[in-house]
Structure 1
Amino acid sequence: MKTVLITGANRGIGLEFAKQYDAEGAEVIACCRHPEKAEALAALDVRVERLDVTHDESIARLAASLGDVPIDIVISNAGVYGPEEQSTERISPAAFLDTMRVNTLGPLRLAQALKPNLLAGREKKLALLTSKMGSISDSSGGFVAYRASKAALNMVAHTIALEWKKDGIMVALLHPGWVRTDMGGPGATLSPFDSVKGLRVRIAELSPKTNGHFVDYLGREIGW
Structure 2
Amino acid sequence: MSEHWVVSGASRGIGLELVRQLAARGERVTASLRDEAARDVLLASLAAQHARIETKLFDMRDGEAILSAAKTVAGPIDVLIANAGVFGPKPQTPLQMDFEAALDVFSINTLGPLRLVRALLPQLAGAANPRIVLVSSELGASADVRPSSAVYAASKIALNKFAQCLAEELKPKGIVVIALSPGWVRTDMGGPNATLSVQESGSGILATIDALTIAESGSFIDYQGERLAW
TM range (shorter): over 0.9
Given candidates 93, 104, 111, the residue that maps to 1:105 is 111
1:104-143 pair list within 5 angstroms: 104-143=110-149
Cα shift readout 1:172-223 (whole Å, capped 9, x = no counterpart): 2110111011111111111000001111111111111111111111122211
Quick one: distance in 2 between partners of 1:35 and 1:73? Answer: 24
2:77 — aligned with what?
Answer: 71
Contact 2:92/2:147 (<8 A) preserved: no
1:80 matches 2:75: no
1:47 — aligned with what?
Answer: 54
Give the alignment's Cα RMSD to 1 decimal. 1.2
Deviates more, 1:14-23 or 1:179-188: 179-188
Given candidates 155, 165, 182, the residue that maps to 2:161 is 155
Contact 2:166/2:177 (<8 A) preserved: yes
Cα shift readout 1:128-178 (whole Å, capped 9, x = no counterpart): 100110111233443111011000000011111111010010012110111
User: 3-state SS of the aligned residue for 1:180?
Assistant: coil
How far is the alpha carbon of 1:40 from its aligned partner?
Answer: 4.2
Between the aligned residues of both structures, percent identity stands at 40
Task: Point out where structure 2 has 5 or more consecutive residues left out of the alignment.
Answer: none
How far is the alpha carbon of 1:37 from its aligned partner?
Answer: 3.8
Quick one: distance in 1 between partners of 2:144 and 2:29? Answer: 35
2:184 — aligned with what?
Answer: 178
1:90 — aligned with what?
Answer: 96
2:227 — aligned with what?
Answer: 221
Task: Point out where structure 1 has 5 or more consecutive residues left out of the alignment.
Answer: none
Consecutive aligned runs of 4 or more in structure 1 exceeding 4 Å deviation: none
1:212 matches 2:218: yes
**CA distance 1:37–1:129, shift in 2 (3 Å):** closer
Quick one: distance in 2 between partners of 1:77 and 1:37? Answer: 15
1:28 matches 2:29: yes
User: If the length of structure 1 is used for normalisation, what is the TM-score?
Assistant: 0.96
Given candidates 69, 86, 92, the residue that maps to 1:62 is 69
Contact 1:35/1:49 (<8 A) preserved: no
User: If the length of structure 2 is used for normalisation, what is the TM-score?
Assistant: 0.93
Cα shift readout 1:63-93 (whole Å, capped 9, x = no counterpart): 1222x52110000000000111101111111
